[in-house]
């Protein structure tokens, strides 16, 4: 048997046969998930097919996040519809409006190395942070997976990325994601998986990995996985109390190509309007007026993001509106206990619990016409966060925090 990449190992196990890139396979699914915005459609597909059935109730995860709390009557109706399904089917892994964003729930509590994970949301790739093959699909495919515990897919071509050195000051996972987007553009990795090797595992923590994996879909990758290592083991043990079995590629496995990033030589990056791959070094945009800053989302709503923001904002006041939303109850509670929330509130930020909120232009800070927004979220196409006439600049937490203080896009390296 030839040496296998992580992609090939996971999908060989899931399909029960030796697989190679380009093969069309039927694979067993380890976890299936959906949230309020997509869950309605998944259940509707099942009802129309007269097949309300869950293959394994312990392997279905449901979280309310996009419409949490419901901003209008229709949203409340949708959530009520899903609650009825949860109750009638006895689904144990249900997270109502008081917990957080689905993808954060998955990496905190469920995702493990080597699993196949499907969810009805494009940012399902987030679970690749722990070395799972995680992919978003539409309502019909997710309904089929909920019913049968299986899915079909084409085995992607793996692409190897190596992270070398330790991150330079203020460099986080967002900068790595933006560098990949800037260097390769948004459609380059179509039909591929990215497998990321970290040379110094503890220098690139799980929070950073989750950000990069989350934006795998922005790179048009089928999945983006970090090779499980001691940081994976540390994170899962801290979160859940056990050490996972690590699934890793074989030595000598063949990749479509290989690309290295020198973390210690990186500069803070920003994706300018209106595309995620319109990437610039922050000082190219310095001085751009900022009306509102958003720190949060399933991309950058984790503890380290709030630690960075609090460190920069401590003892100061924001000049731009600033909305800060931890991605989950656990992240909110830990940020509260460590004083990060108090620091942000004292600086003039609005803080709430885990919700998608303004990321999708849903509620809690929608962008108005002509406004410039700096956001730590994942997308900046026209209308994503509200008005088609707003401009969204994507950045990491350091650029976002200092820009809120200055009222204009600012290089955090001035600190």
* Spatial separation of the C-alpha atoms in residues 336 and 340, rounded to whole Å: 6
Q: How far apart are CA 291 and CA 109, in angstroms?
A: 36
Q: Where are the beta strands (DSSP E) in 176-276?
A: 192-198, 223-226, 258-262, 269-271
The phi-psi region of residue 353 (left if phi > 0; otherwise alpha if psi is between -120 and 50; otherwise beta) is: beta
Distance (Å, whole) CA 342 – CA 351? 9
Report how far apart, in Å, the C-alpha atoms of 281 and of each of 176, 212, 277, 317, 394 are. Answer: 12, 18, 12, 25, 12
CA 235 to chain CA mean position, Å:
16
Look up tokens 């290295």; give the residue. Answer: 260
Give, in order, the Cα–Cα distances in Å from 37 to each of 65, 70, 320, 363.
8, 11, 30, 13
What tokens were used for 289?
A: 């007026």
Which residues are CB-neighbours of 251 under 8 A, at least 6 positions away? 3
Residue 356 annotated as binding? yes
Q: Is 349 annotated as a binding residue?
A: no
Q: Give the contacts of 180 (CB within 8 A, at least 6 positions apart).
A: 161, 194, 212, 219, 261
Q: 298 labelled as ligand-binding?
A: yes
**Burial of 2 by CB count in 10 Å (0-12 exposed, 13-18 middle, 19+ buried)?**
exposed
Beta pairing partners, 137: none
Residues, the chain: 415
H/E element, 143: helix 139-148
Alpha-helix residue ranges (DSSP H) falling in 22-72: 36-48
Which of these, 155, 182, 147, lies nearest to 5 by C-alpha position? 155
Binding residues for [4Fe-4S] cluster: 298, 356, 359
Binding residues: 298, 356, 359
């Amino acid at each position: 048997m030839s040496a296998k990449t992580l992609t090939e190992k996971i999908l060989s196990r899931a399909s029960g046969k030796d697989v190679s890139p380009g093969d069309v396979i039927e694979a067993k699914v380890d976890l299936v998930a959906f949230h309020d915005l997509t869950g309605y459609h998944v259940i509707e597909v099942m009802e129309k097919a007269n097949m309300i059935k869950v293959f394994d109730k312990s392997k279905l995860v449901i979280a309310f996040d996009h419409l949490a709390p419901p901003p209008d009557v229709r949203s409340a109706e949708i959530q009520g519809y899903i609650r009825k399904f949860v109750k009638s089917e006895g689904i144990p892994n249900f997270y109502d409006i008081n917990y957080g964003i689905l993808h954060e729930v998955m990496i905190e509590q469920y995702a493990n190395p080597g699993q196949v994970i499907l969810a009805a949301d494009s940012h399902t790739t987030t679970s690749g942070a722990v070395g799972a093959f995680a992919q978003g699909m539409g309502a019909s495919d997710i309904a089929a997976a909920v019913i049968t515990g299986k899915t079909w897919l084409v085995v992607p071509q793996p692409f190897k990325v190596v992270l070398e050195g330790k991150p330079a000051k203020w460099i986080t996972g967002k900068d790595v994601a933006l560098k990949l987007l800037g260097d390769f553009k948004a459609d380059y990795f179509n039909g591929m998986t990215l497998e990321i090797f970290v040379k110094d595992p503890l220098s690139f923590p799980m929070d950073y990995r989750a950000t990069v994996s989350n934006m795998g879909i922005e790179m048009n990758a089928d999945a983006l996985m970090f090779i499980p290592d001691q940081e994976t083991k540390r994170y899962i043990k801290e979160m859940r109390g056990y050490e996972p079995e690590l699934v890793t590629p074989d030595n000598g496995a063949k990749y479509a190509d290989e690309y290295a990033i020198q973390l210690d030589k990186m500069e803070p990056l920003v994706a300018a309007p209106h595309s995620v791959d319109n990437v610039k070094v922050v000082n190219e945009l310095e001085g751009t007026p900022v009306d509102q800053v958003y720190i949060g989302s399933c991309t950058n709503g984790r503890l380290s993001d709030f630690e960075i923001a609090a460190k920069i904002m401590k003892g100061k006041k924001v000049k731009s509106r600033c909305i800060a939303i931890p991605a989950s109850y656990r992240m909110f509670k830990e940020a509260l206990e460590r004083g990060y929330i108090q620091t942000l509130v004292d600086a003039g930020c609005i803080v709430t619990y885990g919700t998608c909120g303004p990321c999708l232009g849903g509620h809690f800070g929608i962008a108005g016409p002509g406004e410039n927004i700096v956001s730590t979220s994942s997308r900046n196409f026209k209308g994503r966060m509200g008005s088609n006439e707003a401009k969204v600049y994507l950045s990491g937490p350091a650029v976002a925090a200092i820009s809120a203080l200055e009222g204009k896009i600012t290089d955090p390296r001035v600190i």
